[in-house]
Structure formats: structure tokens, C-alpha cells
Amino acid sequence: MSEHVYAVIMAGGSGTRFWPTSRASRPKQLVRIVGDTTMIQATVARLQPAIPPERTLVITTAAIAEETRKQLPMLKPEHVIAEPVGRDTAACVCLAAMLVKRMDPDAIMVLLPADATITPADVFQQNLLAGAKAAEDRSLVTYGIEPRFAATGYGYVHVDDNAAEVDGVKVHKVQQFKEKPDLATAQIYVDSGEYLWNSGIFTWRCDVVLEQLSKHTSWLVEGLAPVEAAWDTEAFDQVLADAYGPLKKISIDFALMENATDIKVVRAQFDWDDVGSWDALYDHMDADNDGVIQRGLSEQVDCKDSMLINDTDKMLAAIGLDNISVVMTDDAVLVCAKGASQSVKTVYEKLKEDGREDLI
């Protein structure tokens, strides 16, 4: 891949749906959910060798920046950048584009979340290369996933019928972005064959995205201009904190993608899952003949279609469970029906209301 292609990983999420494993001090991206490494480690690894560590940056929060640096020793410490407060994804994009452009005026930036599962890595890299080539003509590029079912938890991309081919990868023009639909609308989208899931992965030239942000959200670019000037100086952290405080929260979708006109979408050839809840692990972990998934120290008797996740050195024993997920940590145990794990966030919020900071 071109030496001008950089990766920026967004790693500021709280991962509340993966409680009790995911906590404020070690959220979803910093723990092992799928596979043998943490999610952010897997994200960096699948970029290589196409985008090496020296051209990889992480935008995260002040609370977990140090742990992120510990988990990613191959990255330059200054390439793990801590937002002083959360201001949604538009601020993250603007900040990253400014800093990467300072490093390389000709840079193309791949923006991706830290907490998705994507396989195989070589196909992913090939698709990123196609997206980078598509972005060379000043287009904003996103990556669309062929819908596997009528999902209501994802945004959709309405694509043009015609597609160009870039290194064997189909690239469409985007007609419109659609917010998360209800079930009936999602089924219409899927049946039409004209819609892809929005993966939340983007590629663009840094100068182009900054020009577009200046056009549609000039206050954001103006507000962060002092930060760009302070990059590589001792004053950077303070300037960043001063600039971020007054910014309004706005997503990159609302700030830019819904207003821009020259947008393309790569029809992804890789397998993608945002792994949004414990239920998603049923598709990513091996089960025994009874459909039971086990990780960690556990024994099961007469269980079916269930999951036992044990992150402790204690024994987890389960008897007669059917369609039940159990997640055990040193200080908490989650037991929920299979298919109900989206409600784990509600438990997290109740603990927060009760002042149980020790558990969140």
C-alpha cells in the first residue's frame, strides 16, 4: 500500500454492553472479547503489513490512554492521542486529519473503529487499498457490508446500480445514507439489493476531508486550528484541552457525510461484525456438540445452546442451562437469556445510578 496511507483507530467507546468484563478503566477495546488478543491489538494487527505501526494512530480518552500505550508498544507513544473530553466522531476526525496532514501533506487517512471483528486480514487490506485509490480523486470513501439479515441496529447505505472496479473490488457511488431503520424498513432495504450496512470505516485524503469540514462545519475546524499548530510541542496537551472544551458534540455522519455529495462506497469482500453484545459471540466462538461455548475454567452438565465465559481462577459450573449466557469476573456475574444481552447496558446504567462506581 502507498507510503502515504495512514490508519486512525477510534478507541474512545465505553463498551457498556460487555459488562462485567468491560469496565470504565478497561473498556471493550482493551479486553479480550473474541480471539486471543484484545480488540484494539487485533485491529492494529490486521492492518499490517499494509499500514505499518509507524503510520498508525489511535484516538482514545484520557482515562485509558496509558493502558492503550501499554497494549500497543509498537506504536509511538505520541501516536496514542487522548481526547480530554468526548465530543463525538466529527471532532475525532477533524483532529486526526489535522495531525496526519502535519506528518504528511499528501496523506490518505483510513478511519476505523477499534472494536469490530474483520476477517480475513489480507482481503481487508486489499479492500482498504481499493478505497485509498478511490479517494485519490477527492472522493470521500466508506465501506459497505452486504446485509446478512434485516438488521435494525445498523445504518444503511443506498448505492448506485453502476459500479466501477478498482483492483477487482466494486466501488459504487452513494445515493444516500439511512439511519437505523425499523424491522419492516430494514427488510425492504435488504430485499431491494440496493443497500449495504454502514461499517463505520472511512477513507479520504486529509486535505479533502478538512476542506469539506470547513465547508459544512467551519466552527469545528476553526476551533481545532490551535491544536494543529501545537502538534509536536510541549503545549499540545493543554492546547488540546482548551480547544476541546467548547466544542459541540456531533457525529461525522451528521457533520459531513449527510451533506457531502461526492461519496463512494467500497462493496466489502471481507467478513465484518461490530460485535455489539455478548450474543454476537455465538457467531465467533466454537461450541461443543450441545451448542455450548466455554471459555475459561468451567464445567457443564446437560446444558444446551449456552455460553460460559469465566475470567477468574474460580470454577464456573453450570447444570441444565438452555439458551443462557453466563459471564463471570472476580467481582460480578452476569446471567442473561440468549438474545437479551442488548439489555446489559440497562444494568450498567442502574449500577451507575446506584453509585456502584466500584462495579462500572
Q: What's the pLDDT tens digit per position in 72-128?
A: 999 999 999 999 999 999 999 999 999 999 999 999 999 999 989 999 999 999 999
C-alpha cell at 301: 452438565
Question: How many percent of the chain have pLDDT more than 70?
Answer: 100
Residue 1: predicted pLDDT? 60
pTM: 0.92
Residue 30: phi and psi, rounded to 5, are -105, 5
Classify strands 195-205 and 156-166 as parallel, antiparallel or unpaired: antiparallel
Q: Is the pLDDT of residue 292 over 90?
A: yes
Residue 246: predicted pLDDT? 94
d(CA 277, CA 187): 22
Q: Which of 33-37, 103-107, 287-291 has the lowest mean pLDDT?
A: 33-37
Residue 217: predicted pLDDT? 95
Q: At what angle do helices 121-135 and 39-47 cross, to 10 degrees?
A: 60
CATH architecture observed for domain 5-273 = Alpha-Beta Complex (3.90)
Classify strands 271-273 and 117-119 as parallel, antiparallel or unpaired: antiparallel
Residue 103: predicted pLDDT? 95
Angle CA 123–155–79, to nearest 5: 55
Average pLDDT over residues 310-328: 97
Q: Is the pLDDT of residue 162 over 90?
A: no
Average pLDDT over residues 279-287: 93
Which run of H or of E encompasses 7?
strand 5-10
Average pLDDT over residues 219-231: 95
d(CA 285, CA 305): 12
Outline which parts of the chain fall under CATH 3.90.550.10.
Answer: 5-273
Specify whether the backbone of 230 is left (phi greater than 0), alpha (psi in -120 to 50) or beta: alpha
Q: At what angle do helices 218-230 and 206-216 cross, to 10 degrees?
A: 140
CA dihedral 63, 64, 69, 70 (to 10 degrees): 110
Q: Is the pLDDT of residue 63 over 70?
A: yes
Please report which confidence band the pLDDT of residue 137 belongs to, taking 50, 70 and 90 as the band edges.
Answer: very high
Q: At what angle do helices 88-103 and 206-216 cross, to 10 degrees?
A: 140
Residue 77: phi and psi, rounded to 5, are -55, -35
Strand order through the sheet with 324-328: 293-295, 307-310, 324-328, 333-337
Give me the residue label for grid cell 463498551.
Answer: 15
Cβ atoms of residues 281 and 275 within 8 Å: yes
